Amino acid sequence: MDTIRVLQVDAFTDEPFGGNPAGVVPEADDLSEHQMQSIAAEMALSETAFLRSSDGADRRVRYFTPTQEVDLCGHATIGSFAHLRDEGLESGTTTLETNVGTLEIDVDDDGTVWMTQDAPQVREADVGYARVADALGVDQAALEGASDDIPLAVSSTGLSFLIAPITYLSDVGNAQPDMHAIEKLTDDVDATGVYLFTFDALERESTLHGRMFAPGAGVPEDPVTGTASGAVGAYLDHFGAFDDDFPEELRLEQGHYVDRPGRARVRVGDSVRVGGRGVTVLDGSMLVPEDDEDEILEA
């Protein structure tokens, strides 16, 4: 059997064991789809990024959860480029080919990685508050009370999420999600997961506090979610949540209720950009089962 280098990078944090852990395989050109899925299952993280060569961009990436491939993953992208920065990648702009198209990635001098996401798409969700409240295990009145101006809606900047505002931080923290019901709900509204949030944040400089549940993608609760952060930024802009005073930068808290606190930075302008830093906490090698040559995928 061959061995391959694998890493765990904690994204959206400067501290080890905070934020969202991502698997990163920096040289994945010779891996088949089956091998990538097997590695992601063995890593047992919400997503693992497999970096490959590309004919049309500086790099190609594919993302796998322990159970399936997903088209885009924010924290695994941040983690991948935090690792590349550690390996000598210079500050500036680079391009990344994904299943949703080619994206621009910017790396600041301080190591912050910015991911320009796909064009926003926002639509109100044809689903009742009672059903969403039951699925999330929250009080229906708390959902309705937070939604006078910003309704339940599905938002995407690459992956779709049902965005659900709620009144207080205690409502977010006390949620008792029914994963089976959430999976059925997200299937019915054609979304990857549900992002529950409140403007009642823990830290003064934070814009909001969120939790994200995506059991249908094999991720019951994600600590800090880059794609959902971009989606909620687009959602808030679409519904005019801040009237004519939209912040230059949103700061989204997440992960505290699974003991992995982190923060995503979001800038909404001509495009939606999600930023954060990362720290490598594991760098090693893994045995890879052999695969038939005709199953090896082209980059």
C-alpha to C-alpha distances, 90 to 7, 86, 93, 129, nearest whole angstrom: 20, 10, 9, 48
Q: Give 99's contacts (C-beta < 8 A, 6+ positions apart).
A: 62, 69, 71, 72
For 241, how many CA atoms within 13 A lie in the half-sphere containing its CB? 20
> Is 47 marked active-site?
yes
| Cβ-count burial 216-250 (b if 16+ within 10 Å, e if not) | bbbbebbbbbbbbbbbbbbbbbbbebeeeeeeeeb
Coil/strand/helix, residue 193: strand
Which of 33, 47, 104, 248 is labelled catalytic? Answer: 47
Residues 6+ apart with CB under 8 A from 181: 134, 135
Could you give the residue numbers annotated as active site? 47
